[in-house]
Structure 1
């Protein structure tokens, strides 16, 4: 399928989805939302695709919403931003966080506003050393949407979450790594290589177990220890019957590389 605002390429079981409006720092329009949703349909519906990599074209990852796509002015007609969140941003963040496949994000430059929080919705986030994360909502009188008010305090604590959200100050990638906001900060020159290397590893791995891992960890914060232990038991029972478990044990005992199928 031909796209106007994104690119989708599949290789070695990895779907690489690139936000492709570099002249606008890959900011979202309605068209981009629709095309990203279509690409996610393809990724989720193709069993041969076993991992996803999200990144941006040009010098930035994503500047959030393209304000020109829903321009407002003092005294002019108001725009229902809640409808935009409900129709586009909330479903996108939910899909990234709950997809039954590993989702890696490679932040190649500025990630601002919703762009930052879309990155944080992914399972593993790499960032180029030159990248910055900006909760720019405060600068235009808004709150961090796209899951920002949920994910920030959970990842960095209330004090840092409030600082990021209320000042709108850029957070360098190295500091984001130190704070536990992202997985890894790497040199710009190796960002694509490092993120794709992990995506390929996931695509050839026991993806059913990886999917269960992400769902359990993401859901654990609203459960008691006893509830989580019970859920772990149910998943261990189910995964213990899987082909991947048997293959993993056989490969270990036979001292060979495993060949996982995701079944």
Structure 2
């Protein structure tokens, strides 16, 4: 296990096949400033380059997941600081989307602005009861970033995405679950346990197949049905020649848990 540093704006470490990216500015509800954004990109690069990573968990230290961008850092030079913050955040999000490993957002407390964007960019999301969500950009006279305008309508539909974006209202975890923004809502006391349980399950899965499944689903909106069927056929054929596929078939007939190696 690689131990994380403590006195940094963002902590990165790996336990077995699970990589952890934890925003670590609890005094400001993990608001993202430029050093945090740069650390986020570095963590995403580490996870994407590490062949041992089978799942990624993104979380926040203290009382919040991420309260959005650090507005105090933007007051004096808003254009320059916004660019310096958004560029590494977007590069990191692109890496998370491209990697084979599924990415899980584990949320509690406040999830706002760019923090909601980070959560929306993940493949799966789990939230504690009492979590509060707000896209928030319209409330400060800004449009959104961190992939939220791409992911939100795909997750909740166009009308609801417009409502969340244009009204800037706060909604709770139960509503987030109802509209499909999160996969699961658990008690606050069990969030860490349930997160680790789900991450371990993802990490035990077949990494090649999961990466292909992730890309099939993410890219499906950009294809016709005929094109998607062709890509599905090619993808399945590519999986069928892997050792993992053979292991999965053998385990099925032998009635045991498969042990995937990513080969």
Fold match (TM-score > 0.5): yes
Structure 1: runs of 5 or more not aligned: none
Aligned counterparts of 1:17 and 1:86: Cα–Cα separation in 2? 18
Q: 1:107 to 1:78 in 2, by over 3 A?
A: closer
Is residue 179 of structure 1 aligned with residue 183 of structure 2?
no
Instruction: Write the deviation string for residues 163-196 of structure 1: whole angstroms up to 9, x where unpaired.
Output: 1111211111111111011111111111111111
Structure 2: runs of 5 or more not aligned: none
Q: 1:84 to 1:189 in 2, by over 3 A?
A: same
Query: What TM-score comes out, normalization by structure 2 length?
Result: 0.93
Compute the displacement of 1:85 (Å). Answer: 6.4
Partner in structure 1 of residue 73 of structure 2: 69
Compute the displacement of 1:89 (Å). Answer: 2.8
Partner in structure 2 of residue 130 of structure 1: 130
Mapping of residues 35-54 of structure 1, within 5 Å: 35-54=39-58
Q: 1:23 to 1:232 in 2, by over 3 A?
A: same
Aligned counterparts of 1:206 and 1:124: Cα–Cα separation in 2? 17
Query: Equivalent of 1:27, from 2, 25, 31?
Result: 31
Compute the displacement of 1:65 (Å). Answer: 0.7
Compute the displacement of 1:81 (Å). Answer: 6.5
Say whether the 8 Å CA contact 1:17–1:53 is kept in structure 2: yes
Partner in structure 2 of residue 146 of structure 1: 146
Partner in structure 1 of residue 63 of structure 2: 59
Q: 1:126 to 1:223 in 2, by over 3 A?
A: same
Say whether the 8 Å CA contact 1:205–1:261 is kept in structure 2: no
Aligned counterparts of 2:247 and 2:173: Cα–Cα separation in 1? 38
SS of aligned partner of 2:104: strand
Q: How many residues align?
A: 259
SS of aligned partner of 1:79: helix
Instruction: Write the deviation string for residues 222-256 of structure 1: whole angstroms up to 9, x where unpaired.
Output: 10000000000111111000111000100110111
Q: 1:12 to 1:239 in 2, by over 3 A?
A: same
Partner in structure 1 of residue 104 of structure 2: 104
Compute the displacement of 1:88 (Å). Answer: 2.2
Say whether the 8 Å CA contact 2:9–2:24 is kept in structure 1: yes
Aligned counterparts of 1:217 and 1:153: Cα–Cα separation in 2? 15
Say whether the 8 Å CA contact 1:96–1:103 is kept in structure 2: yes
Aligned counterparts of 1:16 and 1:78: Cα–Cα separation in 2? 31
Aligned counterparts of 1:134 and 1:142: Cα–Cα separation in 2? 14
Partner in structure 2 of residue 164 of structure 1: 164
Say whether the 8 Å CA contact 2:86–2:145 is kept in structure 1: no
